[in-house]
Structures are given as C-alpha cells and as structure tokens.
Chains A and B, each alone.
Chain A
Amino acid sequence: MALIDRLRGAIAPASVVRDHGPAVARLLRRLFGPRADVDDVFQAVFVEVLRSLPAYQGRAKMGTWIHRIALNVAYQEMRARYRDRGRWVADGEIEEHATEVDDAERGMLRNESIRLVYEGLETLDPRRRIAVILHDLEGQTLREVSETLGRPLQTVASQVKTGRAELARWFVEQQKAPRVALRGEG
C-alpha cells in the first residue's frame, strides 16, 4: 500500500510533515517539557520518518507509526542529553499557561510545578524517565507502556517503580535544600 501511495505521490515528504508535525511537536513538548529545545528532535524524527517511509507497510495507521518513531527518537535524544547532562542548557521560555479564567498567580504556580517535574525527570535514567512519563504523566497503563516501548511488562513495571523512587528522592532533596539555606540566613 505504501508503495502505491508513493507512486501516486500521495505521501510527499512535505505533506507528511504538514499533517503529522503538530502531533509530533506536542508529543515532544510533553516528553521534554516546556523549556526544552525540541527543534533537533523534531528534525530527527522526520528525517527518520522520511528515511523509513519506503519501508512503511501500511499495517498501522501512519499517525501511530510516526508516534512510535517519535518515541524512539526522543528516547535516543534523552540518552544523548543524559550523557551530556550538565552541559545541556534549556533555552526555551516557559510557555505562559495562565488563561483568562486563571489568574496570573495561579498560572505562575502551575508553570513552576511543571518546571519542577521536568527538572526532576531530567535526572532520571532515560529508560526509566520515558516509562514514568508515559505511565504517570500520559496516563498509560503499564501494559500500554510495555506495548508502546516494546519492552516486557515486568521490565516496564520495574523501570516505573525505580523511576518513581528516584523522582521522589529528587523532590525530597529539593525540599531539603531551601531549609538549609533558610537556616543559614537565619
């Protein structure tokens, strides 16, 4: 089917990016957080998609197929950034989430909460991080995470458990840090 689509010119690279770009951008934003620079990853996802297009069999919907590629590329990028952690600087501005209904203060607090979660997540090993994101933030069941990532259920369960404990440890450390500072000031 994919071959015929290509012969018909139905799957033009530009149209793939146009049709699936927004969903991929949203997914990457949710995986990497509001501050992260996802341009590179976005490019890498579509380079991979366009490269793999000839092998696309049409067994899954194109959106699902691209979603899976995006997750894999994002995971590779997380690994690379994890290796380079300390050198990595997130440049992006936090998006303003305050709506007309929310007052500015609530919006700021919410942004701060989101920022903290992603900061904590960045300290996790990428295998655990992506499992925690999909399970705890995206609301997937362990079985769905296992299918999405192509990992055994037991492995995913273990990764989520360890990842959660590491995230909790980071939050506890964050709680301790200001107390020490306050004591010092006092």
Chain B
Amino acid sequence: MRCEDLLVDLVPHARGELDLLPSARMDAHTARCTVCRGAVTQLEEGIDAVRAWEPHISTDEIARLSALVAPEAPRRAPPWWAIPIAAALLLTVQNRVPELQHEPHVHVPKHTAIAFAHKTKPHLEVSKRELAPGIRAIASPDWNGQLVTRAKDDFEISATRGYAVFAFQGGHGRTLRVRAPDLEVEVVGTQLFVEVTPGQPTTVGVISGKVDVLRAGVPTRVLAGTMLRADRAHPSPIAPRNLRSAPYFADRFLGTHASPDLMAVLASAEALVRAHRDKDAEAELADLLPRTRGAEMMLVELDLARVIARDPLRREEAERRLGDLAALATGEVRIQAALLRCELGKDRCAARRCYEAIGGPEAARVLTRTRLANEQCGS
C-alpha cells in the first residue's frame, strides 16, 4: 500500500476517528513507513496543540486594534428619564416603521434610499413627517432639515443639526441629495447611510447600489459594500480610507525589530489623529524623531508627513517631506511615501498622473480601487 492511498485517513487517524479496520490498516502501514508515522505524530501533536491553544490577546493589543477601527468614546450612563422615554419610543417606532414601509399606496421602490444623519447627541423623541410625496422621514425634534424642490423630481435635504432616517422612493428620474456641513451625498439609487457625529469624520456607507459623495465639488463614487469617511480637515481628491496607520507600517517594515517605545508613540499618535488631535500627534512624533535612526526614523518621518498632510494649509510642507522621503528612503517606506504624495494631488487627474508615474502593482491597485483609472483626463 502506498502512502498516497492513506492520505485521506491520516487526519481522521490522528484524531482517533477511524473505524477499526481502516485504523488497523493505517497502523500496519505506519509501523513500517517512517514518513507516514512522522506525519501522523506531527499531525496529532499539532492538532492537540492548536485545540488547547487559547490565543492571549492583551488589553494593550485590544486597545491598539480598537484604535485602528474607531476612536474611543467615553461611555455615558443614560439619564434617568431615558428609560421611560425609550419605552415610549419603542412603542411609537414599532407602530410607525411598518406603516412607513407597508402603506398600500406606497409601491416598494426599486431604488430606495435610507439615510440617517446624526448631528448631535440623539434625542429620544421622534416625529414622522412626509417631506414630499415619496420622501418620508423619522426625525428627532431638534432636526433642522429642510427640503428644497429644485426641479420636478429633484430634491435636496439640508440639515446641520439632529438626526433623521429617510425613506426615499427613487426611480423614474427622481433624485435626492442629502447635504451635511462637510459633504453632500447624491443618491444614485438604492440604500445608504450617512452618519455625522461631532468630532468624528462623517461616514457614508453604501448597503447596495451606489452613491456619489461630493466634497469641495469633487465627486467620489461609493459602491455597495464600501464605506467612505470624509474628514473635513482632509478634503483629498480620493478617498483616504485606505491610508494605513503607522502601527500597521511598523509591523510591516520593522517586524520584530521595532522598539516598544517607538510602537507606543506611534500607537499613541494614531489614537490622537483618530481623536482629531492632530497637533498633539504631530508634537509626539516630532519629539520622537530625533531619537530614532535608520528605518525607524523613516517610519516616524512618514507618519509625521501623514499627520501634516491632514491640514489643508500645510499641503506643500507635507508634499516636500514626502518627496524627500520618496527620494531617500528605501523599500516599502519609499513606495508608501510616493503613494501618499499622490493622494495630495490637487484633483483626481493630477492624482491619476502621479500614480501612473510611480507604476508598479501598489499604484495599479490604488488606481483600480479609487476608479482613478476610469477618470477622463486630458493628455
């Protein structure tokens, strides 16, 4: 019998799942085949070790990972009046939402947009309004949104305060724009959400279909399954969501060589950036810079440039720093510096030309991901 014939039974044998006959056959084979015997032993040990292994995730590790996803927000206890009002709200909304969705005359549209915008701390009372035929909202009392009918079937809702959930009956050329202070969402069709919370980047998430998000007049198409975070301090021509954080790069570039001090400062700076305390992050990084050498120094320099680039008034400084880094650094730091520099291009065509000049798989990926490759630009 050849080893090949027994491969299917090797894992079940290592797990003690084989019936008597195949097990005896396997035993007979492994008694004379050192290769299979060794493989079975290693598999047994390996599977046992993995099953017994409980990954230890330290509190620091969790804090670091959490900082990559969302800024830490202080947990607030609900006020004393929240519970009865929440109960009332529960009844109200449970009664109203089905109405909104299932009223007989409301055709369930092919293109329905649902958007909600939080402008302040959510209030617990809501009211249901029909803003226009086919545009309904459940809104908080402090919501100050106004609907403007720009032309037949062309609507715009502007709000600077409060939150609202919209149900929009699209199709047949009907369009809706939701305007928030730092962006506009053009509903091309289908489902999306817009979330604006003070002190955090506005988030537009598309559940299905697509939307155009306009910032400073520049559209960015957000497709289903993706999310865009718009930071008013960083009106980049392309979505900056894929910019990697410094701790990520530290792992990549330095591997196990990164000193704990460096990692701590990078993680701290990242947390500050996410909390919109760019100045503090910059100060921490600038303080660290003279104490670093070689690859660590380049990494800190890259992160410093990234923080500076967030300030629209300091674009030139950021570009200069990144240009120096792209020229002097090596490996991935050089590539990342060049890519980041392209992101500062004054418009999408400039960004596209910049990425094309870099070339290589990384730049090609960005061109595809951001759809810059489809941009209509002159030669």
Interface residues of A (CB under 8 A from B): 3-4, 6-9, 12-18, 21-22, 25-26, 29-30, 34, 37, 39-40, 42-43, 46-47, 50-52, 54-55, 91-93, 95, 97, 109-110, 113-114, 116-118, 120, 136-137, 139, 161, 164-165, 167-169, 171-172, 174-176, 179
Which residues of B approach A to under 8 Å, CB–CB?
A: 3, 7-8, 10-12, 15, 34-36, 38-39, 42-43, 45-51, 53-57, 61-62, 65-66, 68-73, 75, 78, 82, 86, 89-90, 93, 97, 114, 116, 121-122, 124, 126, 140, 163, 165, 193, 203, 205, 207, 225-227, 247-248, 251-252, 255-256
Do A18 and B66 touch across chains, with their CB atoms under 8 A apart? yes
Which residues of the other chain, B, contact A26 by a CB distance below 8 angstroms? 54-55, 57
Complex CA gap A113/B116 in Å reads 50
Neighbouring A residues of B73 by C-beta, 8 Å: 12-15
Query: 7 A-B pairs, CB-CB below 8 angstroms?
Result: A7-B93, A12-B73, A14-B72, A29-B57, A114-B49, A137-B51, A167-B11
* A172 in contact with B39 given A12-B73, A47-B227 (CB within 8 Å): yes
Contact B251 A113 (CB under 8 A): no
Q: How far is the CA of A25 from the CA of B59 in the complex (A)?
A: 11
Q: Are B7 and A37 in contact (CB-based, < 8 A)?
A: no
Contact: A95 with B55, CB < 8 Å? yes
In the complex, which residues of chain A have a beta carbon less than 8 angstroms from the beta carbon of B47? 117, 136-137
Query: Do B8 and A165 touch across chains, with their CB atoms under 8 A apart?
Result: yes
Known: A4-B90, A172-B35. A17 touches B70 (CB 8 A): yes
Q: In the complex, how many angstroms separate the beta carbon of A14 from the nearest chain B beta carbon? A: 4
Bound CA–CA A155/B65 (angstroms): 35
Interface-central residue, B49, B75, B252, by most chain A CB under 10 Å:
B49
A92 closest partner in B (C-beta):
B251
Q: Are B7 and A168 in contact (CB under 8 A)?
A: yes
The answer to whether A116 touches B207 (Cβ under 8 A) is no
B49 & A117 in contact (Cβ 8 Å cutoff): yes
- Separation of A135 and B49 alpha carbons in the complex (Å): 15
Contact B57 A50 (CB under 8 A): no
Which residues of B have CB within 8 Å of A13? 69-70, 73
CB contact between A164 and one of B8, B71, B89 (< 8 Å): that residue: B8
- A87 to chain B: closest residue by CB: B361
A26→B72 CA distance, assembly (Å): 20
Does the CB pair A25–B78 fall under 8 Å? no
A175 touching B70, Cβ below 8 Å: no
Least Cβ–Cβ distance between A84 and chain B, in angstroms: 10
Task: For B45, list chain A residues within 8 Å (CB).
Answer: 109-110, 113
Distance in angstroms between the alpha carbons of A92 and B43 in the assembled complex: 23
Task: With a 10 A CB-CB cut-off, give which of B43, B89, B116, B165 has the most chain A CB atoms.
Answer: B43
